[in-house]
Amino acid sequence: MSDNVVVTFACLNQSAYTKSCMSSLLTSGIKPEQIVVVDNSSTDDTQQYLSTVAGINLITNKSNLGCGVAWNQGALLQQAEWTVVMNNDVKVTSNWLEGLLEAARRESLQIVCPSMIEGADDYDLEVDSRERANLSSGHIRLGHVHAVCMLIHESVWRHVGYFRATPKLLGFEDTIFFKECRENDLRMATSGGAWIHHFGSVTQNAMRVERGLQQRDGLGNRYNYRLLGQGRLQRKIQKYSLRQSLKRYQSQELQSFGFTLHGVKPVGAPICWKVN
């Protein structure tokens, strides 16, 4: 386990997921002093619980400052060579960080994300992830990343800066960040050598309920796309190119391994592998 890594996540209520995430991090071998938790003014027992976890770095904001601000706070507190920015509705596995670091070094990646299963955790995550990682450890999806969990090298901050610190973006920070990384030709990928479980946008879904929105509705302003500085045609071409690349990777993965790097786990049912 590398000591020059800091793991940070933001949270807003949903304490059960934060407890599960923290437990999995510590069980995986992450030291408490390597963890920075940024609480965006939770009103449940989140802060009370976090105050009992010895050794972690805890930042408590007086109001909900959004993901971008919280992620920056976490990344800046220790300024390690590698920073993991992740959601709190995640469970990691025993070798998840080693898998990410190995892929980053082997492929000269500046941002690398783990593969993941989303949904119900009524399966043996540790055994299943180990079996899949053994088969797909040398495989990456170059150019494809996600904000559920990402290992970021310190050089990224120098090339593109940090996350857009605008609370009202409500989740659009990662889209802007990845767009700027692509424009700077940074090497990014998802690795088959590291697996996590993601319960599925728990905090964002709770915020939708709070605002009276449907689960399919976006949280952020409908005109946030203007911050990308791209015309409609340019955005469509880029999305199409990424979708076609993703389909090629999925087809290759199914043929080579019998699974893709993204699965969905319905309650009481087998994992469905994402192919679209």
**Successive 10-residue mean pLDDT values, the chain, 276 residues:** 86 95 97 97 96 97 94 96 97 97 98 97 96 97 97 96 84 90 96 96 55 50 62 78 94 97 95 88
Residue 233 pLDDT: 77
CA–CA dist 109, 185 (Å, integer) = 11
Find all residues with CB under 8 Å of 236, minimum gap 6, and list them.
none
Q: Which two tokens stand for residue 57?
A: 């770095």
Question: pTM for the complete prediction?
Answer: 0.90
Q: CA dist 118 to 151, 157, 201, 202, 267, Å?
A: 19, 29, 10, 11, 11
Residue 228 pLDDT: 66
Full set of structural domains in the chain with CATH:
5-220 (3.90.550.10)
Residue 259 pLDDT: 97
CA–CA dist 228, 240 (Å, integer) = 17
Residue 238 pLDDT: 79
HSE-up of residue 241 (Cα within 13 Å, Cβ side): 7
